[in-house]
Amino acid sequence: MNLVFRPATPADYSEVRRITREAYLHAGHFTADHPYMSVLDNVEHRADHAELWVGEASGAMVAAVTLTFAGQPYSEIAVENELEFRMLAVDPTVQGNGVGRAVVRQVIEHAQSLPAVRAISITSATFMERAHVLYESLGFERVPERDWHVPGKDVLLWVFRLEL
């Protein structure tokens, strides 16, 4: 897949919001009124406190992802010298066509271009099996000792890591 991977601009925010919302709802991960949906919808806040990137194919935005580093507001699990990616979303109209794989590959390439980054980490809910298969197929490994629970909830989150 020929994917253009680039930092998002303010002109992209409404489309990032749409893609992210539709991807999470389509997958059945959350209902529209779930509290996490308001976090996903706040694209402007993400862009101000992390790196927001988009993927384009054939001139259309088809994916979005948030990149962050240890100690930054959107970092949940990153440790020193680790890039963390979050909120990977692929437009449901193009899911199953390798877009998610292409975006993760671009994240890996970007991380490899950053001299201080030695690994990439991602948190994934236990029920996100399709994502787990994708990450493992690209060389990410489970790091069970870094798994964590959503504060105040009975939701276990798995950590995957790729050494660069």
Pairing of strands 148-149, 141-142: unpaired
Q: What pTM value is reported for the model?
A: 0.94
When divided into structural domains, the chain yields a total of 1
**Cβ-proximal residues to 90 (8 Å cutoff; 6+ apart), any chain:** 19, 23, 62, 63, 99, 100, 103
Contact by Cβ (8 Å): 164, 111: yes
pLDDT digits (tens, 9 = 90+) for 120-146: 999 998 988 889 999 999 999 999 999
Q: Give the CA distances from residue 118 to residues 3, 112, 113, 160, in Å, rounded to whole numbers and listed in that order.
A: 24, 8, 10, 14
| pLDDT value at residue 106 | 96
User: What CATH number corresponds to the domain at position 35?
Assistant: 3.40.630.30
- The pLDDT tens digits of the residues spanning 56-102 come to 999 999 999 999 999 999 999 999 999 999 999 999 999 999 999 99
- Domain coverage including residue 18: 4-163
